[in-house]
Amino acid sequence: MRLKLTLAILLSCMTAVAQNYTPKSSGEIVKHSCYTLAYSEQHEQAIWVLYHLTREMVTGAAGRTDDFRPDPKVSTQSASLEDYRGSGYDRGHLCPAADMKQSSTAMSETFYLSNMSPQVPGFNRGIWKNLEETVRKWSLEEDGIWVVTGAIFKDNKGAIGKNKVTIPGYYYKVVYDYTGKEKMIALILPNSEGKKQLSDYVVSVDLVEELTGVDFFPQLDDALEEKLESQSDPGEWSFDRMVTQVKVQQKLSTPIQCKGTTKSGNRCKNKTYNTNGCCHSHQSQAGQSSL
C-alpha cells in the first residue's frame, strides 16, 4: 500500500510539471520528480526552480534528509560541497525541503546542490524562512499554487569555492494561484538580514522579468498573463507573520565532532562548524553536553 501511495504521489508531481508552465530563459533544463530547474553554468546554481505546491506536499510525513550532494543530472556538473565549506554562507534552498514532504525521494532531491544558492545566514534563517512558511500557508489556503524561485544576479557579493559559485545580491519568488479568482504575486528580497515586513517586498512579476530576463508562465493567454503579471497588490494575499531576527552563530574554520548524544546514548559522529559544538540534529543539546 505504501509503495502504491508513493508511486501515486510521484505520478501526480510528474503530471503537474508536465502541464508545461516552464519559464523561458537561458540555462540547462533539469527535471526531477517534483520540481524543474534551469541551471546556469556561469553562476553554478539555478536561474529558476519551478514546482506545483499542494496540500499533500506540505503535510506529508517525509523527514528532512540533509543529504547535500552534487546534482547528477546537470551535464556540466553542479557546484560541490567543497564550494560551500568554510565560506560563511548557508546552502540556501530554492525549492525548500519542507515543501517536499510527500515522499522521501522528493525530499532527498531538494538537497541537490543545483537547488542551493549561497545565502547570508541571517537571511536564510530569518526572513527567507518566514517567506517559505508563508508560501506553504498559501498553498493550503488556495488549494494548490505554482511557485518559481531564483536569484537575481545584481549587486552580487562575489563568489565562493573552486567553482566560483556566485553569491547573488537578491532573490525572488513568483507565486501563481490558478484556483478561483486567478492571481499572482512576486517578491524581491536582498540577500541580507530582513528588517521589514514580507509585504514590503512585494513587486510585480513584470519587474522580476525585467531584472532576470526570465519569461514566467508564457503558456497563459496573453491578456491574462499581462493582467496578472502587472499587479503588485499584497492585499490579495495573507501576510500574518512578523519578521523575526535570528541570532546567527559564527562558524569555525575547521569542523569538530558534534558534542551531542544520540538516542542510543553514544556521542554523535557528525562533524559541525557551529561554535556551540552541536550539529544541526542536536542543537537542542547545545550547552548541555560536558564532552
170 phi, psi to nearest 5 deg:
-145, 165
The pLDDT tens digits of the residues spanning 11-43 come to 556 444 446 789 999 999 999 999 999 999 999
2-247 has CATH 3.40.50.300 classification? no
Q: Is 280 a residue of the active site?
A: no
At 114 the pLDDT is 98
- List 52, 93, 280, 282, catalytic entry: 93
pLDDT at residue 264 greater than cutoff 90: no
Closest to 257 in 3D by CA, of 278, 238, 241, 242: 278
275 phi, psi to nearest 5 deg:
-70, -20
Q: Any idea what the Cα angle at residue 13 is, between residues 183 and 93, rounded to 5°?
A: 75
Question: Residues with Cβ < 8 Å from 224, sequence gap 6 or more?
Answer: 182
> Domain locations in the chain?
2-247, 249-291
pLDDT at residue 251 greater than cutoff 70: no
At 94 the pLDDT is 98
Closest to 110 in 3D by CA, of 132, 127, 88, 86: 132
pLDDT at residue 112 greater than cutoff 50: yes
**What mean pLDDT value characterizes the chain?**
87
pLDDT at residue 291 greater than cutoff 70: no
The pLDDT tens digits of the residues spanning 117-138 come to 999 999 999 999 999 999 999 9
Question: Residues with Cβ < 8 Å from 287, sequence gap 6 or more?
Answer: 276
Give the integer Cα–Cα distance in Å for 171 and 155: 11
What does the block give as the cell for 81?
560541497
At 267 the pLDDT is 86
Question: Residues with Cβ < 8 Å from 67, sequence gap 6 or more?
Answer: 108, 111
Question: Do the Cβ atoms of 49 and 17 come closer than 8 Å?
Answer: no
Closest to 213 in 3D by CA, of 40, 78, 8, 20: 40
Q: Any idea what the Cα angle at residue 136 is, between residues 135 and 141, rounded to 5°?
A: 90
- Among 27-31, 170-174, 278-282, the least confident range: 278-282
In Å, how far from its chain's centre is CA 261? Answer: 30
- Among 140-149, 173-182, 202-211, 264-273, the least confident range: 264-273
Helices (H), ranges, 45-98: 55-58, 81-84
